[in-house]
Amino acid sequence: MTSSGLDELIARTHYVLLDFDGPICSVFAGIPAPTVASRLTKILLDAGVTPPVEIIETDDPFDVLRYATTHTPELATDIETAFRAEELTAIASAAPTPGATETLHACHDTGRPVAIVSNNSEAAIRTYLATHALTDHIAYISTRTHTDIARLKPHPHLVTQAIHGLDADPTRCVLVGDSTTDVQAAHATGIAAIGYANAANKTQRLTDTGADTIIIHMTTLANALRFLHFV
Ligand SMILES: [Mg+2]
């Protein structure tokens, strides 16, 4: 999709669903995700579980969480609880994404309700929004809870929950995310997806997954939202 494709999409968008880690901020800017992943893996090892090498060597704490869900519910809960604590620590040094605040202000000024749809924990997200005076710009938060760890994106649950939470018409919704799982979750619910390619290797992956359009900067989205009002 071209920039005119972005314009067409935004012109019919009334409800903006935003992934958190990426479009809003970089959660693990101060405490690298690989550090968190290795700490979670140590909990597995201490519990007598020996994960496969790809889990031991992963840079992504969500890989460890997903692996834990294949064991006992108790172990999955322990990993999720530890991950939540790590996220709360990390959020203090999260780096705001350029253009994120402008995007939220553009949504507010043009009457577009915003939902956060994130695999991260609610406590970390609420802490970040409060710290950055953004809470009032968010109409609904659909995030990981300790009872829903098997239904994270690409599962459609969090997106569906946000659509219901906003009482939204799905044809007027768009989800903005920086992962292929965001695109998959959006399309599983039948809503459009904008791929936010915040790293050079993401454009192709997001395109291949079927993103309806790609943006490189959040300011591009902010400007489109501000100047292409819902009619
Ligand atoms: Mg993300």
DSSP assignments along 188-221, one per residue: HHT-EEEEE--STTHHHHHHHTT-SEEES-HHHH
Give me the number of domains the chain comprises: 2
**Same domain for 150 and 127:** yes
**Same domain for 67 and 16:** no
Distance 118 CA to ligand 1 centre (A): 7
Three-class SS of 33-66: HHHHHHHHHHHHHHCCCCCCHHHHCCCCHHHHHH
pLDDT tier at 3, thresholds 50, 70, 90 = low
Distance 103 CA to ligand 1 centre (A): 16
Q: What is the mean pLDDT of residues 94-119?
A: 97
Distance 32 CA to ligand 1 centre (A): 15
**Same domain for 171 and 122:** yes
**Is there a contact between 118 and 152 (Cβ–Cβ < 8 Å)?**
no
Task: Give how far Cα 145 sits from Cα of 10, 26, 33, 141, 211, Å.
Answer: 30, 20, 19, 11, 27
Domain-ending residue, one of 75, 91, 107: 91
- Does the pLDDT of residue 2 top 80, yes or no? no
Rounded to 5 degrees, what are φ and ψ at 10?
-70, -35
41 lies in which domain range?
A: 33-91
**Same domain for 101 and 16:** yes
Domain with 144 in it: what CATH number?
Answer: 3.40.50.1000
**Same domain for 103 and 87:** no
Full-model pTM: 0.95
**Same domain for 204 and 99:** yes
Q: What pLDDT score does 4 carry?
A: 62
Q: What pLDDT score does 146 carry?
A: 80
Least confident of 62-76, 82-96, 129-143: 62-76
Distance 187 CA to ligand 1 centre (A): 16
**Same domain for 150 and 78:** no
Distance 180 CA to ligand 1 centre (A): 9
Count of C-beta atoms within a 10 Å radius of residue 228: 18
Distance 20 CA to ligand 1 centre (A): 6
**Same domain for 145 and 81:** no
How far apart (Å, rounded) are the C-alpha atoms in residues 118 and 213?
Answer: 20
Distance 47 CA to ligand 1 centre (A): 29
How far apart (Å, rounded) are the C-alpha atoms in residues 65 and 58?
Answer: 11
**Same domain for 172 and 100:** yes
What whole-number percentage of the chain has pLDDT above 90? 91
Q: What pLDDT score does 1 carry?
A: 46
**Same domain for 115 and 21:** yes
How far apart (Å, rounded) are the C-alpha atoms in residues 89 and 134?
Answer: 19
The per-residue pLDDT for range 187-228, each reduced to its tens digit, is 999 999 999 999 999 999 999 999 999 999 999 999 999 998
**Same domain for 184 and 76:** no
Would strands 25-26 and 95-96 be described as parallel, antiparallel, or unpaired? Answer: antiparallel
Q: What pLDDT score does 88 carry?
A: 97
**Same domain for 86 and 99:** no
Domain-ending residue, one of 91, 119, 135: 91
Domain-ending residue, one of 64, 91, 118: 91
